[in-house]
């Protein structure tokens, strides 16, 4: 027997129904905010992903050579592909350009619940504006999407990498030292951050102050530290404005400043944000994004960019934890021919009903009346059409209500009107 590859999953019809339902909700919210859907290929040239992150990222990729010896990779995310597409074909479009996508991504991660090697992202890129209103709308969109799919328990965190850089500068932490600190900050291992800082020769007092700033949710504490840095001060003002818009316009109550957001990808700069579903445990991050820079690196004309991606699989997991009530997918009718001679007439009726926009299935196994009825009660169908010889003479069929067991005789020509 063949095994499914590690970190991949099959989806049952029931799971697919849930996934498509949620996908449609997400799609319609993107559209409500003026975003347009695009699609890019599942694999790209390897260089697209190493250009910003360097060769080290190859360890996390599904990278391979094709038969022509070209270096390719399955996409680990869609921001770099979308920006490649933009620089190649969409630069002349009027701004701001609002693009969204659904796509499977591949990462050579260590699989666990909520972390897979093939997973799905729903994301977007906003090209051509970085006003506080633009960024607030972007973050508001991410939050609105997760709310609109039905999630109740969400937490939004906002940080800013330029401000974090300024804080690093204040404490005289070099670029090399930052590289060592960043993974610890990313994992919220703040005690290890303090130990690391002390190793760098920073005093206990300063190390503790640095830790306090990383954990501060009060803008004032951060403002005190960055007062002398003009750029950081401007970023702080912008952050404050975004924060207020999110509270007042988007009515997001669970929004916090978090300077320790560093994001895993190398292209971010400025505002960054994450949305968690606390109920999910270790892999609780549902969405991540922020402002970033890739266009100049890809040879395009500089313009501000920001975006986010929602982990679609984790969204479904979070809905399951919250015991979300999905609407059930129902067949309108199940058609049963009483014997073999009735099969072609049954198929004709089935097909006519489908032409009228109803979802209808019929017995194709010639399994006889009682087995067919048993089957019908095992699927989600309210009404059954029984096609019998006697009734057909009179151009009629029997309709049975599966809930009550009541039966009535209906003329075939009246069928469509009556059934609607
Ligand atoms: P990311 O944070 O790497 O950002 O991924 C976004 C989301 O994808 C995560 O928050 C998580 O929910 C989900 N995700 C990531 N890895 C896995 C995995 N192995 N299994 C299941 N879900 C996973 C990006 O990818 C950026 N491109 C987002 C962005 C768009 N930034 C700007 N524009």
The 10s digit of each residue's pLDDT in 217-236 is: 887 888 887 778 888 889 98
What pLDDT does residue 420 have? 52
Q: Is 292 in the pocket of ligand 1 (CB under 6 A)?
A: yes
What pLDDT does residue 419 have? 55
C-beta separation of 244 from 139 below 8 A: no
Kindly report the average pLDDT of the chain as a whole number: 94
Q: Give the ligand 1 atom nearest the CA of 77.
A: 25
From CA 244, how far away is CA 240, in angstroms rounded?
Answer: 6
What pLDDT does residue 120 have? 98
Q: Across 61-70, 176-185, 204-213, which has the greatest mean pLDDT?
A: 61-70
The 10s digit of each residue's pLDDT in 282-320 is: 899 999 999 999 999 999 999 999 999 999 999 999 999
What pLDDT does residue 415 have? 83
Q: Give the ligand 1 atom nearest the CA of 109.
A: 19
Q: Residue 420, SS3?
A: coil
Domain chopping of the chain, boundaries:
13-321, 333-419
Residue of 151, 261, 271, 314 best suited for mutating to test ligand 1, as the one with most atoms within 8 Å of CB:
314
Task: Let me know if the fold of 13-321 is the same as that of 333-419.
Answer: no
> Residues near 157 by Cβ (< 8 Å), separated by ≥ 6?
255, 256, 257, 258, 261, 273, 274, 275, 276
From CA 85, how far away is CA 80, in angstroms rounded?
Answer: 9
- State the DSSP string of 329-362: P-EEEEEEESSGGGHHHHHHHHHHHHHTT--EEE
The 10s digit of each residue's pLDDT in 6-57 is: 999 999 999 999 999 999 999 999 999 999 999 999 999 999 999 998 998 9
Q: Give the ligand 1 atom nearest the CA of 275.
A: 10
Q: pLDDT band for 399, please (50, 70, 90 cuts).
A: very high
Spacing, Cα 263 to ligand 1 middle (Å): 10
Q: Is 288 in the pocket of ligand 1 (CB under 6 A)?
A: yes
Phi-psi region of 398 (alpha: psi -120 to 50; beta: other; left: phi over 0): beta
From CA 256, how far away is CA 156, in angstroms rounded?
Answer: 6
CATH superfamily label, 13-321: Bira Bifunctional Protein; Domain 2 (3.30.930.10)
Bigger pLDDT: 170 vs 308: 308
Range with the poorest average pLDDT among 54-63, 96-105, 257-266: 257-266
Mean pLDDT, to the nearest integer, of 156-166?
A: 93
What pLDDT does residue 67 have? 98
Second-level CATH architecture of 333-419: 3-Layer(aba) Sandwich (3.40)
Tell me which H or E stretch contains 186: helix 175-186
Q: Give the ligand 1 atom nearest the CA of 78.
A: 27
């Amino acid at each position: 027997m063949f095994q499914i590859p590690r970190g991949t999953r099959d989806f049952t019809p029931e799971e697919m129904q849930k996934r498509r339902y949620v996908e449609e909700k997400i799609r319609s919210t993107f559209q409500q905010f003026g975003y347009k859907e695009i699609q890019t290929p599942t694999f790209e040239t390897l260089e697209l992903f190493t250009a910003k992150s360097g060769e080290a990222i190859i360890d996390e990729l599904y990278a391979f050579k094709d038969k022509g010896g070209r270096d390719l990779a399955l996409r680990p995310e869609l921001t770099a592909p979308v920006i490649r597409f933009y620089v190649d074909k969409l630069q002349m479009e009027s701004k701001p350009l609002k693009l969204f996508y659904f796509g499977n991504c591949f990462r050579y991660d260590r699989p666990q619940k909520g972390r897979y090697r093939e997973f799905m992202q729903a994301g977007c890129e906003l090209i051509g504006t970085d006003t506080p209103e633009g960024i607030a709308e972007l973050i508001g969109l991410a939050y609105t999407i997760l709310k609109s799919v039905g999630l109740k328990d969400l937490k939004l965190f906002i940080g800013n990498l330029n401000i974090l850089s300024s804080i690093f500068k204040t404490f005289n932490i070099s670029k090399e030292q930052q590289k060592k600190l960043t993974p610890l900050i990313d994992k919220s291992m703040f005690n290890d951050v303090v130990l690391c800082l002390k190793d760098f020769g920073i005093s206990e007092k300063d190390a503790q102050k640095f830790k306090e700033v990383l954990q501060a949710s009060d803008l004032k504490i951060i403002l005190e530290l960055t007062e002398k840095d003009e750029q950081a001060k401007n970023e702080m003002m912008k952050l404050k404005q975004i924060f207020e818009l999110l509270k007042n316009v988007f009515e997001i109550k669970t929004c916090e400043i978090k300077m320790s957001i560093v994001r895993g990808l190398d292209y971010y700069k400025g505002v960054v944000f994450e949305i968690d579903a606390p109920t999910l445990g270790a892999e609780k991050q549902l969405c991540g994004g922020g402002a970033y820079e890739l266009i100049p690196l890809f040879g395009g004309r500089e313009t501000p960019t920001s975006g986010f991606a929602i982990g679609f699989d984790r969204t479904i997991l979070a809905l399951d934890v919250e015991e979300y009530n999905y609407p059930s997918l129902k067949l309108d009718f199940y058609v049963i021919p009483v014997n073999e001679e009735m099969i072609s007439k049954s198929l004709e009726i089935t097909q006519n009903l489908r032409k009228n926009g109803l979802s209808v299935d019929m017995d194709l196994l010639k399994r006889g009346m009682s087995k067919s009825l048993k089957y019908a009660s095992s699927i989600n169908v309210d009404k059954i059409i029984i096609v019998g010889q006697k009734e057909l003479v009179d151009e009629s069929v029997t309709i049975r209500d599966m809930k009550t067991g009541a039966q009535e005789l209906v003329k075939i020509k009246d069928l469509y009107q009556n059934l609607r």
